Amino acid sequence: MMFPFTTPSPSPADIPTEPWEASPGVEGFLLGFFLLGIALAFLMWSMNRHLRKIKHSATVEKRRVEAEAKKSEQATKGSDQKSQGAKLSKSEQEPPKGEDSA
Protein backbone atom coordinates (compact mmCIF):
# COMPACT_ATOMS: atom_id res chain seq x y z
CA MET A 1 0.00 0.00 0.00
CA MET A 2 1.36 3.35 -0.95
CA PHE A 3 1.14 6.42 1.15
CA PRO A 4 -1.05 9.07 -0.47
CA PHE A 5 1.45 11.95 -0.36
CA THR A 6 4.53 10.17 -1.60
CA THR A 7 5.48 9.30 -5.12
CA PRO A 8 8.25 6.93 -6.03
CA SER A 9 11.21 8.69 -7.51
CA PRO A 10 12.10 7.64 -10.17
CA SER A 11 9.07 5.58 -11.09
CA PRO A 12 9.79 1.85 -11.61
CA ALA A 13 8.58 1.92 -15.22
CA ASP A 14 11.20 4.52 -16.19
CA ILE A 15 14.27 2.40 -15.31
CA PRO A 16 15.54 0.44 -18.32
CA THR A 17 16.59 -3.09 -17.41
CA GLU A 18 18.17 -5.82 -19.43
CA PRO A 19 17.19 -9.48 -18.89
CA TRP A 20 20.59 -10.30 -17.42
CA GLU A 21 20.19 -7.46 -14.88
CA ALA A 22 16.91 -8.85 -13.56
CA SER A 23 18.14 -12.41 -12.94
CA PRO A 24 20.42 -13.65 -10.18
CA GLY A 25 22.96 -14.77 -12.75
CA VAL A 26 25.48 -17.55 -12.61
CA GLU A 27 26.65 -16.53 -9.13
CA GLY A 28 23.15 -16.80 -7.72
CA PHE A 29 22.62 -20.16 -9.37
CA LEU A 30 25.91 -21.54 -8.01
CA LEU A 31 25.24 -20.16 -4.53
CA GLY A 32 21.77 -21.68 -4.49
CA PHE A 33 23.10 -25.00 -5.76
CA PHE A 34 25.83 -24.95 -3.09
CA LEU A 35 23.31 -24.20 -0.31
CA LEU A 36 21.03 -27.00 -1.53
CA GLY A 37 24.04 -29.37 -1.51
CA ILE A 38 24.86 -28.44 2.09
CA ALA A 39 21.22 -28.97 3.14
CA LEU A 40 21.15 -32.34 1.35
CA ALA A 41 24.38 -33.44 3.04
CA PHE A 42 22.97 -32.52 6.47
CA LEU A 43 19.72 -34.38 5.78
CA MET A 44 21.60 -37.49 4.61
CA TRP A 45 23.80 -37.42 7.72
CA SER A 46 20.77 -37.08 9.99
CA MET A 47 18.82 -39.84 8.21
CA ASN A 48 21.81 -42.19 8.38
CA ARG A 49 22.13 -41.58 12.12
CA HIS A 50 18.43 -42.27 12.70
CA LEU A 51 18.51 -45.43 10.58
CA ARG A 52 21.46 -46.73 12.60
CA LYS A 53 19.46 -46.16 15.81
CA ILE A 54 16.48 -48.03 14.36
CA LYS A 55 18.65 -50.95 13.22
CA HIS A 56 20.33 -51.16 16.64
CA SER A 57 16.96 -51.04 18.43
CA ALA A 58 15.57 -53.78 16.18
CA THR A 59 18.62 -55.97 16.83
CA VAL A 60 18.33 -55.51 20.58
CA GLU A 61 14.58 -56.25 20.46
CA LYS A 62 15.14 -59.38 18.35
CA ARG A 63 17.74 -60.69 20.81
CA ARG A 64 15.43 -59.98 23.75
CA VAL A 65 12.53 -61.83 22.12
CA GLU A 66 14.77 -64.80 21.26
CA ALA A 67 16.08 -64.93 24.83
CA GLU A 68 12.55 -64.84 26.25
CA ALA A 69 11.42 -67.56 23.84
CA LYS A 70 14.38 -69.74 24.76
CA LYS A 71 13.77 -69.15 28.47
CA SER A 72 10.07 -70.00 28.20
CA GLU A 73 10.90 -73.05 26.06
CA GLN A 74 13.33 -74.30 28.69
CA ALA A 75 10.80 -73.65 31.45
CA THR A 76 8.12 -75.52 29.52
CA LYS A 77 10.50 -78.36 28.71
CA GLY A 78 11.59 -78.60 32.35
CA SER A 79 8.03 -78.64 33.66
CA ASP A 80 7.05 -81.28 31.07
CA GLN A 81 9.95 -83.49 32.15
CA LYS A 82 9.00 -83.10 35.80
CA SER A 83 5.36 -83.95 35.14
CA GLN A 84 6.29 -86.93 32.97
CA GLY A 85 8.84 -88.09 35.54
CA ALA A 86 6.17 -88.09 38.23
CA LYS A 87 3.79 -90.14 36.04
CA LEU A 88 6.33 -92.72 34.85
CA SER A 89 7.61 -95.43 37.11
CA LYS A 90 11.31 -95.94 37.69
CA SER A 91 11.51 -98.81 35.21
CA GLU A 92 9.89 -96.71 32.46
CA GLN A 93 12.33 -93.82 32.94
CA GLU A 94 15.45 -95.97 32.54
CA PRO A 95 16.25 -97.53 29.15
CA PRO A 96 16.62 -101.33 28.97
CA LYS A 97 20.14 -102.47 29.84
CA GLY A 98 20.71 -104.59 26.76
CA GLU A 99 19.96 -101.85 24.17
CA ASP A 100 22.02 -98.79 23.29
CA SER A 101 20.12 -95.57 23.32
CA ALA A 102 21.32 -93.64 20.31
Residue-by-residue DSSP string for 48-76: HHHHHHHHHHHHHHHHHHHHHHHHHHHHH
* Cα–Cα distance for residue pair 63/58, rounded to 1 Å: 9
* Cα–Cα distance for residue pair 36/95, rounded to 1 Å: 77
Cβ contacts of 39 within 8 Å, gap of 6 or more? none
Look at residue 34 and give its three-state secondary structure: helix
pLDDT for the residue numbered 102 = 47
Q: pLDDT tens across 41-92, in order? A: 999 999 999 999 998 888 999 999 999 999 988 888 777 666 665 555 555 5
